[in-house]
Amino acid sequence: MRISTSGRRWVLGTAVCGVLIAGCSSGGGDDGDAKPRAKPAAEAKPLAAGALRPLLLTEADLGSGYVQVQDELGSEKFDDISVQGCPALEKLGQDGEGDMFAAKVEASFTYDRDATLGEEVHSDRPSVLSSKLRELFGAYTSCPTYTLTSGTTPIKVKVSKSVNPELGDEQFAYTSTMELPSGAQVLKTMAVRKGNVAVMLVGAPALVDRHIKTAVGKLPAGN
């Protein structure tokens, strides 16, 4: 089946789930002398895109050899992408178009011309970020293999979970290997949530591992 624009971005690893959000128990005795219960703290609101842009990595953050590039084609380059052989991903594609989170900014870099590193910074209420990231990464790690069709070319994809770094409030990671006509390409996708902001890096595993700590370090303190 053909999948949504957001889904296509995640499948290709170029562009950021069902969590149980704990409710507050209201149990207790009928002690007339008990003090009124304090109201639960309100969740932090999403940040606007303008507040997220300074949080993106820059060439200065990454070091020599990195060049920031513009995504001139936008979502059009994903129009002929579809997925077969993974029910969770197919369902994800059926959930509709549009961005998953309240605000998003992104940046893309090349490294020594033949390697890429993509970054997205998202913001939403912490419970929404947590829920949707768990849903998304859960879907992409639910099938060890599936087929990605680009135009008329079928591409076999193998997926494995990756070790999560001990950063932020929540961490998610997986590695995908795509069997392309030119040879196998390995991409790592890693996301870290810190309060009402989450950062995701996608690219060559060594580049993602090298820069995730710097990317998380640019995020504001968790709210």
Domain definitions of the chain by residue range = 5-18+54-217
Residue 94 has what pLDDT? 65
Residue 73 has what pLDDT? 43
Q: Which residues pair with 103 in a beta bridge?
A: 123
**Averaged in consecutive runs of 10 residues, what is the pLDDT profile of the chain (223 residues)?**
38 30 31 48 90 97 93 52 86 64 94 90 96 92 90 90 92 93 91 96 95 96 66
d(CA 140, CA 126): 21
d(CA 117, CA 58): 11
Q: Indicate the fold that domain 5-18+54-217 takes in CATH.
A: Protein Transport Mog1p; Chain A (3.40.1000)
- Residue 108: which of 170, 162, 66 has the closest Cα? 66
Q: Which residues pair with 107 in a beta bridge?
A: 119
**pTM reported for the whole predicted model:** 0.79
Q: Which helix (H) or strand (E) holds 212?
A: helix 205-217
Residue 40 has what pLDDT? 53
- Residue 21: which of 132, 127, 136, 102 has the closest Cα? 127
What DSSP designation does 171 have? E
Residue 18 has what pLDDT? 23
Residue 180 has what pLDDT? 85
Rg of the Cα trace of the chain?
19
Residue 25 has what pLDDT? 28
